Amino acid sequence: MSEKSSRLPGFYRLSMAERTDVVAQWADLTADEKAILAGAGLSDEQANLMIENVVGTYKLPLGIAANFLVNGRDYLIPMVVEEPSVVAAISNAARLIRAGGGFTTTATDPVMIGQIQVLDVADMETAVAALNAAKPELLERANCCDKVMVRLGGGARDIEIRPFADTPVGPMIVVHLLFDVRDAMGANAINTCVEDLAPIVADLTGGRTNLRILSNLADRRTATASGIIPAAALTQDDAEGTEVAQWIAEANAFAVVDPYRAATHNKGIMNGIDAVCLATGNDWRAIEAGAHAYAARNGRYAALTDWHVNENGDLYGEITLPMAVGIVGGATKVHPTAKVAMKILNVESASELAQVMAAVGLAQNLAAIRALATTGIQKGHMRLHARQVAMAAGASGPQVQQIANQLVAEKKIHIERAKELLNQP
C-alpha cells in the first residue's frame, strides 16, 4: 500500500502559496524547486537555447490533480492546461476510481518503430527474400548504432518487411526496425538507427531508400489502465448509481460506433494526457498523433476506451493507447518546471510514466462522459469558465471571482455582461 495519500481534501480552497507548500512537502521539494513553481521557471537564456528565433517565453497554468491511486501507489499529477475544469474534473473522477481500489495499469516494452522507405525495386519478391535473410545482420547493425541503449537493456528487437505492390509512385517496400528505447522517448535513437541501416537496405534490395524516420503510430509501445467504480459511488440525488453506470456505458458505446462522437470522446481523453505531457516536457504532438492513428487502427476511427457495467453491476473502464513518453533527454531534463513536475510525479521509468498517463486519460474520460450523461457538461464547466470571461473583460484580483459569481447567478456568462458589471459604479 502507498506510504502517503494523494487524497488532498480542501486543496482547491487553499491559496496558491498554500497549495505549493502542500505539494512541496508531499514531494520533498527544495526551496529552489518551490521558487520554480512560483514562477522562476524557464529563463530567457534557456529558452533561447531550446528553439530558434526566440523572442520570449509563454506561461500556462500548472495545476495538480489529486486522488490518483495507481497499482496501489499514490500520485499527485502535474498538469499544464489552459482549459478550466479539466483539473477539478479529473481529480473527482480519480476519487471515484479510488473508491473501487484505484487504477490497475500495465505497459508493453517500450518498443518504437523506425521506417525505411524503399523504391525502384526491380524484383519485389527477391528484395523481400533478401531482407528476410539479412534480418540478423540488420539487427546486429542497429544494436551497434546505439550501444548505450543495448547496455541499458534495450536495443533492436525485430525487422518487419511490408511490401506495397501498388502506390502512386510504383511498388514500394517499407522496412520497420523495432527497437526498445527503454526510458527515452526514442525519436533520436530510432532516427539515427534507420539512417544508418538505410544504405544496407538499399544494397540488399537493389533499390533506393527515401524516408528514414520513426513512426508516431507507436502501437508496440502501449499503456493500459483499467478501473472499477462501485455503482453505489455513482449515486446522485436524482438517480441510482446503477442507472448512472448504464448511462456512462451508453455514452461510451456512442463513441465506439460513431467517429463524430469518437473524435470528441478522445479529445477529452487527451485533455488529461496532453496536460501531463506538457508538464513533464514530453512531445504532446507525438502522443496525439499516436493516439488518433491507433483509434483508427481497425479501419474506422473509434473510442480509445471501453466502459461497461460488469457482472456485479459496477462500472468497469479500460483504455489502451500508444504512449511514447520519455523520462531522459529532451525538455524533460532541460525545462526547470518539467524537472520539478517529474519530481512531483516521482516515476522511476518511462513505462511507469506511460502507465500513469493512461490512468490520467481514463479518469479524464470518465469525468467528461459522466458529466455528459448526467447533468450535462455546461453546468460545472461554465462556472469555472466564468472566471476566464471575467478576466477577458478586464477584471483583476478579487474582482474576478466576484464578477464570475454574478455571471453564474445571472446565467449570463458572456463578456459583454462581464464588462457591464465591471463598469458599474
Would you tell me which residues interact with ligand MEV (CB under 6 A)? 83, 264-265, 267-268, 271, 368-369, 372, 377
The answer to whether residue 44 is catalytic is no
- Are the C-beta atoms of 115 and 174 separated by less than 8 Å? yes
- Smallest gap, in angstroms, from Cβ of residue 405 to ligand MEV? 23
When CB distances to ligand MEV are compared, the closest residue is: 268
Give 224's strand partners. 106, 320
Which residue in the block uniquely carries the three cell numbers 498517463? 357
- Are the C-beta atoms of 90 and 224 separated by less than 8 Å? no
For 356: left if phi > 0, alpha if psi spans -120 to 50, otherwise beta; the answer is alpha
- Smallest gap, in angstroms, from Cβ of residue 261 to ligand MEV? 8
87 vs 112 by CB, closer to ligand MEV:
87
35 vs 384 by CB, closer to ligand MEV:
384
73 vs 381 by CB, closer to ligand MEV:
381
- Smallest gap, in angstroms, from Cβ of residue 165 to ligand MEV? 41
- Smallest gap, in angstroms, from Cβ of residue 368 to ligand MEV? 4
The answer to whether residue 381 is catalytic is yes
> How many other CB atoms are there within 10 angstroms of residue 21's CB atom?
14
- Smallest gap, in angstroms, from Cβ of residue 241 to ligand MEV? 20
The answer to whether residue 379 is catalytic is no
CA–CA separation, 138 and 285 (whole Å): 30
Which residue in the block uniquely carries the three cell numbers 480509445? 304
For CA atoms 341, 14, 271, 253, give the dihedral sign: positive
> Crossing angle of helices 259-280/86-99, nearest 10°?
100
The answer to whether residue 267 is catalytic is yes
Q: Which of 34, 135, 176, 267 is catalytic?
A: 267
- Are the C-beta atoms of 386 and 380 separated by less than 8 Å? no
Q: Which of 33, 180, 183, 283 is catalytic?
A: 283
Q: Which of 83, 196, 219, 243 is catalytic?
A: 83
118 vs 369 by CB, closer to ligand MEV:
369
**Catalytic residue annotation:** 83, 267, 283, 381
